[in-house]
Structure 1
Amino acid sequence: MRIALVGCGAVTQAVYVPLLSRRRDLFEVSAVCDLSRTLADAVGDRLGAARRYTSVAEMLADGGFEAVIVLASGSHGETVRQALAAGCAVLCEKPLALTRAEVAALPEGRLMVGYMKQYDPAVRRAAELLAELGGPAAVRSVEVTVLHPSGESQLAFANLTRAGDVDPGVLGSLRAAEDALVSRALGADAPEALRDVYTISLGSICHDLSLLRCFTGSPEEISYVETWGPAPGSVEISGPLPVAGRFHIRWHYLDGYPAYRETVAIHHTAGTLELVFPTPYLMNAPTTLTVVSGAETRAEHRQVTEAFEVQLAAFHAYVNDGSPPITDAGGALEDIVTAQRIAARYAVRHRLPIGGEAAAWT
């Protein structure tokens, strides 16, 4: 399948380049695009893609590929809209968008949103075990803890090519556009603290929201949100699950922490299913599933199959065979709604001004 890549930064270089290099049985990278020609050339050289662009519109106009993988930072709504309108299938890294309006503006087409943890074999096994126990109705609580070091420390091993050739005026325009989208979501008067809660929810905590969708369904109510510590600091979120039980998410940005760590514990009526995820940028690092039964026996499953690679294979099957993705536009929209509910609860708790799309949840 001939594909084009949009975005040649850290995740592309550390994760997608090595995976696409070893899955040439599935994919041929025909074109790459980045605002930085330096990054486009670096990724194009590694993947053998002769066509390099700094404009998505120009790349789509030239064509020559069946699908687009969108890996740039920030909101992907406009890029996805253009790619779908051009008739391409799309795999889009999270978040799909920052507003509900961007999702509503998408044309019909084949769209898969990438939450690689949903494709982790340990997660799939945990979902099977939970289904055998009675599914969401058996859940007493879901407890999530994320210890998030700096991106620089997580990617120190990767020897990334850095971009220094993008016009500062272009970068300023992009930041202004992103800020305008957040204002559309939260209102123009939303203060920085509220904006931080929203962008952290859609940029990082969304992985845990995607796991809640897999295990229990998206929460329909947010009871409590609090933040503390120097920005981006710590975020705590809790509320009822849609069928039974409650969830609790604690997210901590710890600049000097030695390694990323994420723990998801599903406590049910007969025991616990506990998932421990390593840093997402290390290929084939094991995810551990620990099964605790009511009789206090424990069984551990350590999975080294790379979730990103399973996700890529699933995208190939979606485009070629019609196998539906785990998350489509509807699932991504659920996460945007949950993030807006989180922001609305935080605004009400701290008496902060909130408008835009999130005002519907106050």
Structure 2
Amino acid sequence: MRIALVGCGAVTQAVYVPLLSRRRDLFEVVAVCDLSRTLADAVGDRLGATSRHTSVEDMLAEGGFEAVVVLNSGSHGETVRRALEGGYAVLCEKPLALTRAEVAALPEGRLMVGYMKQYDPAVRRAEELLAELGGPGAIRSVDVTVLHPSGASQLAFANLQQAHDVDADLLASLRAAETELVSRALGESAPESVRALYGVSLGSICHDLSLLRRFTGSPREISYVETWGEQLGSVEISGPLPVRGRFSVRWHYLEDYPAYRETVAIHHDKGTLELVFPAPYLMNAPTTLTVVSGGESRTEWRDVTEAFEVQLAAFHAYVNEGKQPLTDVAGALEDIVTAQRIAARYAVQHDLPIGGESA
């Protein structure tokens, strides 16, 4: 399948370039696009893509591919809209957008939203075991803890190509447009603390929201939100699950922490299913599933199959065989709505202004 890549930054270089290089049986990258010509050329050279662009509009107009993989930072809504209008299938990294309005404006088309942890073999095994236990009705609680070191430390191994050739005025205009989108989501008067919380919810905690969707369904209510530490160092979120039990998420940005670590513990009537995720940028590093059952029996389960690679294969199957993805437009919209509920609950608790879609 001939594909085009939009965005040639950290995730593309560290994850997608090596995976697409070894999955040439499924994909041929024929076009790349980035605001930086330096990055477009670097990724194009590594993948053998001769068509290189600094404008999405120009790339889509030239064509020559069947699908678009959207990997750039910020909101993806406008890029996805243009690609779908052009008749292309789209794999879009999370989050799909920053506002509900952007999602509502998307035309019909083939769209898959990438939450690679949903495709992790340990997560799929946990889903199977939970189904055997009775599904969401057997859950007492889901407890999540994320220890998040700096992005630079997580990607130090990757020797990333840096961009220094993007016009400063263009960057400023893009940042202003993104600020306006966040204002539509939260209201013009939303303070920086609420905006930062929304950014973390859509940029990182959304992975955990996507797992809740798989295990229990999205939470319909957010009961409590608190933040503490410098520059939003820690976040705590809790509320009821849609069928039974409660969830809690504790997210900590720890710049100098030795390594990324994410733990998701599903406590049910007969024991616990515990998932421990490694740093997401380390290819084929296994997630550990620990099954705790009667008599304090503990069984560990691992599979080195790379979740990002499974996700790419799922996109290929979606486009060519019609196999439905784990997250479509509706699922991505649920995560945006939950992130807005998180922001709104925090604002209400602290008597801060909230408006826009979140109101």
Aligned mates of 1:214, 1:37 — CA distance in 2: 39
Per-residue deviation, 1:301? 0.4
What residue is the counterpart of 1:107 in the other structure? 107
Tell me the CA shift for residue 302 of structure 1.
1.4
Amino acid corresponding to residue 224 of structure 1 in structure 2: Y
Percent identical pairs in the alignment equals 83
Partner of residue 237, structure 1: 237
- What SS is found at the alignment partner of 2:301? strand
* Structure 2: distance between partners of 1:354 and 1:48: 48
Q: Which amino acid aligns with 1:221?
A: E
Could you say which residue in structure 1 is the equivalent of 2:87? Answer: 87
TM-superposed CA distance for 1:286, in Å, is 1.2
- Matched to 1:96, the amino acid is L
Deviation at 1:39, TM superposition (A): 0.1
The 1-side partners of 2:236 and 2:181 are apart by 24
Match of 1:144 in 2: 144
- Distance apart, 1:95 and its partner CA: 0.2
Other-structure match for 1:19: 19
SS in structure 2 of the partner of residue 295 of structure 1: helix
Deviation at 1:232, TM superposition (A): 3.0
The amino acid across from 1:214 in the alignment is R
Question: 2:344 touches 2:354 (CA, 8 Å); kept in 1?
Answer: yes
| Alignment: residue pair count | 359
What displacement does 1:13 show?
A: 0.1
Q: Distance in 2 between matches of 1:249 and 1:32?
A: 37
Equivalents in 2 of 1:129, 1:80: separation in Å? 35
Structure 1 segments of 4 or more deviating over 2 A?
Answer: none
1:243 to partner: Cα distance: 0.1
1: CA distance, partners of 2:155 / 2:231: 21
Structure-1 residue corresponding to 2:358: 358
Question: What corresponds to 2:320 in structure 1?
Answer: 320
Distance (Å, rounded) in 2 between the aligned partners of 1:240 and 1:231: 28
TM-score of the superposed pair, with normalisation by structure 1: 0.99
Aligned residue identity for 2:76 = H
Q: Provide the C-alpha distance between the structure 2 equivalents of 1:142 and 1:88, rounded to a whole number of angstroms.
A: 38
Asked if 1 retains the 8 angstrom alpha-carbon contact of 2:289 and 2:301, the reply is yes
Secondary structure of 1:273's counterpart equals strand
Q: What amino acid sits opposite 1:357 in the alignment?
A: E
How far, CA to CA, are the matches of 1:10 and 1:128 in structure 2? 33
| Counterpart amino acid of residue 188 in structure 2 | A
1:295 is displaced (CA, Å) by 2.3
**Match of 1:131, as an amino acid?**
A
d(CA) in 2 for partners of 1:230, 1:303: 37
Unpaired segments of 5 or more residues in structure 2? none
Contact 2:193–2:232 (8 Å) recurs in 1:
no
Whole-angstrom distance in 1 between the partners of 2:178 and 2:218: 25
Q: CA deviation at 1:296?
A: 1.2
- How many Å apart are 1:294 and its aligned residue? 2.5
Whole-angstrom distance in 1 between the partners of 2:303 and 2:82: 37
Residue identity in the other structure for 2:292: V
Structure 1 match to 2:250? 250
Q: Which amino acid aligns with 1:226?
A: E
1:209-256 CA deviation, whole Å, 9 max, x = no partner? Answer: 000000000000000000000113100000000000000000000000
- CA–CA distance in 2 between the matches of 1:175 and 1:258? 31
Report the Cα distance in structure 2 between the residues aligned to 1:49 and 1:119, rounded to whole angstroms: 27
- Stretch moving more, 297-306 or 16-25: 297-306
**SS across alignment from 1:204:** helix
Q: Which residue number in structure 2 is paired with residue 271 of structure 1?
A: 271
- C-alpha RMSD over aligned residues: 0.4
Deviates more, 1:292-301 or 1:32-41: 292-301
